[in-house]
Structure formats: C-alpha cells, structure tokens
Amino acid sequence: MRGAILHAPGDVRFEERPDPVIIEPTDTIIRTVAASVCGSDLWPYRGINEVPKPRPIGHEYCGIVEEVGTDVTSITPGQFVVGGFLTSDNTCPHCRAGFQSACQNGGGYDGCQSEFIRVPLADGTLVATPEAPPEDLIPSLLSLSDVMATGWFAAVSAGVKPGMTVAVVGDGAVGLCGVLAAAELGADRVIVMSRHPDRQKLALEFGATEVVAERGDDGIGRIKDLTDGVGADAVLECVGTGEAILQALRSTRPGGLVGYVGVPHGVELPVHEMFFSNVGLRGGPAPVRRFLPDLMDRVWNRRIEPGRVFDLELPLDQVADAYRAMDQRTAIKVLLRP
Ligand SMILES: [Zn+2]
C-alpha cells in the first residue's frame, strides 16, 4: 500500500509502505475512505517539533473494516467506522471515567494518511455507523475523528451551559467546531475571535453571534465591551500559543473556565493572575471516544454538519499539497481520499 511519510520539515512524501497486518488479536485493519491533515501535524511539518527521522504521519481517518483480530467482538468486516486520534480499550479506570485520551493501554497509530490502517484496540476505539453512510456525510463523519470532537471537548471543558455567553479563541477547524459545539450546547451568545472573512462567515453559519477581529489587549477589551465589562462566562482556547492562552484567560469572567485544547507551545501560565481572577483552566487532548456515539448521532440525523470545515479535497497521493495548503493557510482543512 501507499502512505504519507514525513521525511523532514516541509518534506512529506506519498510512498510505498508495508501493508498493515493484524498483530494483536484486538487489532483491526481498515481500508481508508477519507483522511485529513491536523493542525498538530503542522508542528513537525514546520520544524517546530523535531523530525529526527522519517516517520509515517496522520491520525484522522474513517474507513471500511477489512479484517478483524480474533478477540474483536463489536466491530465486523464491512462496517464503516470512525476512530479518535488515539486508541483506547474503553475499559480501564481512565476510560470508564470518560478520559479515553489517557487510557492505560491506549496509544497512537502508525500513520493514518495511508490507504490501509491498523487500528489497535478496535472494540474500545472504533464506532460504526448504523449502515453504509451516504456520500455527503463522509466529511462530517471524518471530522469526528478529531476536530469536531476536540471542539466539543473544549466547550464541555469550559463548562458551556444553555444561556451562557461563550468566547472562542481561534478560527481554525477546531475553533470553528468549538463555535458549533457551543451553539449546540445551548450558548446564548457565541463570540468568535477571527480576522479572516471566510472563517468569520463559516463561524456565523455555525452559530456565532458576534465576531471580534482584534487580538491581544484590544481583543480582550472588545470581549469586555460586549459583556458590560464582565467577561465571557466560558472561553474555548483552540490555538495553543502563549498569546492565545492569555487572551482566553483574560477574556473570562471571574469564576469562569477556559477549555483549552490547542497543544501548548511556548506557554507560561500566569498563575498569580489566575489565582486572583478566580479563572480556571481545564482541557487537554480530547477523549474522542466519549463523544463519538453522541456526535455520530447528531451527524447521522443531520443536526450538525461539521464537515463544512473541509474547504479543499485532494487525492491522497497529493498529500504533500494538502500540507502546503494548510501551512500557507490557503485552506482551513483538507480532506484526502485514496
Ligand atoms: Zn482505557
């Protein structure tokens, strides 16, 4: 089969790789129907994370089950499945508490931007659709493997409740999904912080009620102005930079929570300031498996269409172009098909 290999920063190649095979009896092999590039794939692509040697890459996928190991009970060949960006047994204490992202037996994948994928711990990782999905649902189902579940987790972590005023820092695919999540969870007002007209437009269609284009102190000032000087009840931090975290913390009202899901890079928390502002911070990698059944239901019943974050589709063998488009921000998010 063929799959994406990150050789060095800026150098992704679509190459021959060994066909994945069942190694553990809990494994499954799936044939990829769609995959995508994550914002976090861009960290090594941009050389901000080191690339000591060539490695397969990608962790967002959906596909058809080809083969299952002898211990797999809930997943059967022919099913259409989605899995989160980490594997989980869904039975250990952390999984039972809803934090499958911290599964005692879980881990990552051997590169999902490829034609076939070995999924370990299939029963505890994958969720199957009720039947073969209609073509137009594929982008939204794919988004559940990471961005939509991550945006949802940001909103849940920030404690979004009906009637709240929510601010979202970041207008990438996760931020946009965070807007959708906040609206779906009943927020009265959703203020998105965005400087890009096309992203503002999609945010408004996803349920944002206001747009703040300013950043830094000016952006915080605008959030305060829009909330009578109080600050937002809940803030979703979907970027991961020090500037974004500060913007989120300082836009939150006393007693409020920031849900943070952007992988932190160069962040130093102002603990003293956080202490006296009574603002809390909660989040981390999304336990996708916790939310998958519910989110799949919402997509299947056409309540939400998070797949709209994909604004470019390319053949999987042009995966290098997908990285370039996302790196240069000519695309919000790219959908890849074998
Ligand atoms: Zn577990």
Q: How far is the CA of 85 from the centre of ligand 1 (A)?
A: 14
Q: How far is the CA of 26 from the centre of ligand 1 (A)?
A: 14
Angle value at C-alpha 218, between 217 and 220, nearest 5 degrees = 65
What band does 7 get if pLDDT is binned at 50, 70 and 90? very high
Q: Among candidates 198, 212, 161, which has minimal Cα distance to 183?
A: 161
Task: Give the Cα separation of 120 and 87 in Å (integer).
Answer: 7
What band does 256 get if pLDDT is binned at 50, 70 and 90? very high
What band does 228 get if pLDDT is binned at 50, 70 and 90? very high
Instruction: Write out pLDDT tens, residues 182-197.
Output: 999 999 999 999 999 9
Mean pLDDT of the chain: 97
Q: How far is the CA of 118 from the centre of ligand 1 (A)?
A: 18
Q: What is the predicted pLDDT for the residue at 193?
A: 97
Calculate mean pLDDT across residues 214-227. Answer: 96
> Is residue 217 exposed (0-12), middle (13-18) or buried (19+ Cβ within 10 Å)?
exposed
* Per-domain residue ranges of the chain: 2-146+287-337, 151-283
Q: Among candidates 133, 57, 86, which has minimal Cα distance to 323?
A: 57
- Laid out side by side, the sheet with 11-16 consists of 11-16, 2-8, 55-56
Q: How far is the CA of 96 from the centre of ligand 1 (A)?
A: 7
Is 189 within 8 Å of 171 (Cβ atoms)? no
Instruction: Write out pLDDT tens, residues 22-33.
Output: 999 999 999 999
Q: How far is the CA of 275 from the centre of ligand 1 (A)?
A: 33
| Residues with a beta carbon under 5 angstroms from ion ligand 1 | 88-89, 92, 95, 103
To the nearest 5 percent, what fractions of the chain are helix, strand and coil?
A: 35, 25, 40
Is 307 within 8 Å of 139 (Cβ atoms)? yes
Predicted TM-score (pTM) of the model is: 0.97
Q: What is the predicted pLDDT for the residue at 89?
A: 98
The fold of 151-283 is Rossmann fold (3.40.50)
Task: Give the Cα separation of 216 and 92 in Å (integer).
Answer: 42
Q: How far is the CA of 22 from the centre of ligand 1 (A)?
A: 20
> Is residue 218 exposed (0-12), middle (13-18) or buried (19+ Cβ within 10 Å)?
exposed
CATH 1.10.565.10 fits 2-146+287-337, yes or no: no
Specify which residues 36 forms β-bridges with.
60, 335
Q: How far is the CA of 97 from the centre of ligand 1 (A)?
A: 9
Q: How far is the CA of 5 from the centre of ligand 1 (A)?
A: 28
Q: How far is the CA of 83 from the centre of ligand 1 (A)?
A: 14
Instruction: Write out pLDDT tens, residues 16-70.
Output: 999 999 999 999 999 999 999 999 899 999 998 899 999 999 999 999 999 999 9
Q: What is the predicted pLDDT for the residue at 28?
A: 98
Q: How far is the CA of 99 from the centre of ligand 1 (A)?
A: 8
What band does 334 get if pLDDT is binned at 50, 70 and 90? very high
H/E run at residue 198: helix 197-205
Amino acid residing at 81: V
Is 101 within 8 Å of 303 (Cβ atoms)? no
CA 96 to chain centre: 21
Q: Among candidates 229, 218, 193, which has minimal Cα distance to 208?
A: 193
Q: How far is the CA of 130 from the centre of ligand 1 (A)?
A: 24
DSSP 108-164: --S-SSBSEEEESSHHHHEEE-SSSPPGGGHHHHHHTTTHHHHHHHHHHHTT--TT-
Specify which residues 64 forms β-bridges with.
31, 80
What band does 294 get if pLDDT is binned at 50, 70 and 90? very high
H/E run at residue 231: none
What band does 302 get if pLDDT is binned at 50, 70 and 90? very high
Is 57 within 8 Å of 110 (Cβ atoms)? no
Q: How far is the CA of 157 from the centre of ligand 1 (A)?
A: 20
| Sign, Cα dihedral of 250, 252, 256, 259 | negative
